[in-house]
C-alpha cells in the first residue's frame, strides 16, 4: 500500500552511490521522482533504470530530479551505475528506514527479506506526494506515462 497522494513526503537522508548525503528536504523547489527497485543487477531493475537513463532529459525538462533507491549497499549501487552508465543518483537504503517509511518493503521476495517493492513516488516542489505506485509484482515497472502526465500538471 502506497502513502497517500496529497500527504507530506517523509523526509530522509541517504547515501548516494558516490557516498554523498542526499536529503529530500534539500531538494525543495524541484519535483522529485523516487524509484524504488528490489535488487541491483537484476534484469527488470536494470531494464527500468536503463530506460530512465535514456529518458532522463524528458524528466529534467519537467523540473524533476530522479533518484533510484534500493536496499543494496552504496558500493554495489555504484558498480551497477558504472556498468550501465546511469546518469542519475542511486540511493542506498541499506538500513531499510526509508523503504519502511514509504511502505515499499517486501516481507519476503524469493527468500530475500526486506527488499524494496518496485515503486514510484512523485514529490512536488513543496514536498507533497503527487503520485504513488507500489507494486506487489516485482516484474511490473511503474507507468512512466502516468508519471510524466503528473509532472506536466505540476508545471
3-state SS, 38-73, equals CCCCCHHHHHHHHHHHHHHHHHHCCCEEEEEEECCC
C-alpha cell at 3: 502513502
Catalytic residue among 45, 64, 116, 150: 45
Segments in the chain forming alpha helices (H): 43-60, 74-84, 97-101, 144-153
CA gap 139, 122 in Å, rounded: 20
Task: Tell me whether residue 50 is one of the annotated catalytic residues.
Answer: no
Residues with a catalytic annotation lie at: 45
Amino acid at each position: 500500500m502506497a502513502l497517500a497522494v496529497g500527504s507530506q513526503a517523509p523526509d530522509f537522508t541517504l547515501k548516494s552511490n558516490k557516498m554523498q548525503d542526499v536529503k529530500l528536504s534539500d531538494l525543495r523547489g524541484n519535483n522529485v521522482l523516487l524509484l524504488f527497485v528490489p535488487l541491483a543487477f537484476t534484469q527488470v531493475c536494470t531494464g527500468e533504470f536503463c530506460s530512465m537513463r535514456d529518458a532522463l532529459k524528458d524528466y529534467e525538462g519537467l523540473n524533476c530530479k530522479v533518484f533510484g533507491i534500493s536496499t543494496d549497499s552504496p558500493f554495489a549501487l555504484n558498480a551497477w551505475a558504472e556498468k550501465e552508465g546511469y546518469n542519475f543518483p542511486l540511493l542506498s537504503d541499506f538500513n531499510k528506514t526509508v523503504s519502511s517509511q514509504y511502505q515499499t518493503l517486501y516481507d519476503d521476495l524469493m527468500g530475500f527479506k526486506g527488499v524494496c517493492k518496485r515503486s514510484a513516488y512523485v514529490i512536488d516542489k513543496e514536498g507533497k506526494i503527487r503520485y504513488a505506485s507500489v507494486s506487489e509484482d516485482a516484474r511490473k515497472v511503474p507507468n512512466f506515462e502516468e508519471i510524466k502526465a503528473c509532472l506536466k500538471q505540476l508545471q
